[in-house]
Amino acid sequence: MARASQHGLCVSKPWGDSSAYDFIIEHKGKLLRVQVKSTTHARYHSYVCCFHGHKNRRYTAEEIDFVAAYIIPKDIWFIFPIAVILKVHSSVILSPHMKVSKYGQYQEAWHLLRGEGDSTLGRKIPG
């Protein structure tokens, strides 16, 4: 939440643990539900990050809009639209040390949460 705020995003946290998302981003009248995942699980120079919820249940587009995956030892974030997460099984291999990698375009992709780029998901604030 702090890193999102540093990138000029307005952050709100839901009350309690009853939601599939960890926080909401509001930017220019759009609300985006973000689930946070983190990893320290290194495999060679890459990291394994699991994308499943409670009781190994997969997230859906009706529950969240983005996953923010944090590699703790490297202090690096990957911002994934839910459409990408729905295409993977339960985990991905993140390789921030490589110049070109399968998920490299999502590394520090905070612009996606501002609606810039190819991801324009979000709920319009009524009124």
- At 7-53, the pLDDT tens digits run 667 677 787 777 889 888 887 888 999 999 999 999 888 999 998 87
Structure tokens at 14: 């839901």
**Is 80 exceeded by the pLDDT of residue 117?**
no
Domains in the chain (CATH in brackets) are 2-124 (3.40.1350.10)
Place of tokens 């040390």: 97
pLDDT tens for 41-51 read: 998 889 999 98
For position 61, what pLDDT does the model report? 93
HEC profile of 32-80:
EEEEEEEECCEECCEEEEECCCHHHCCCCCCCCCEEEEEEHHHCEEEEE
Q: How far is the C-alpha of 64 from the C-alpha of 20, rounded, in Å?
A: 7
For position 123, what pLDDT does the model report? 40
For position 1, what pLDDT does the model report? 66
Sign of the four-CA dihedral 41, 6, 107, 64: positive
Taking the model in full, what pTM does it have?
A: 0.83
For position 124, what pLDDT does the model report? 41
**Is 80 exceeded by the pLDDT of residue 68?**
yes
**Is 70 exceeded by the pLDDT of residue 106?**
yes
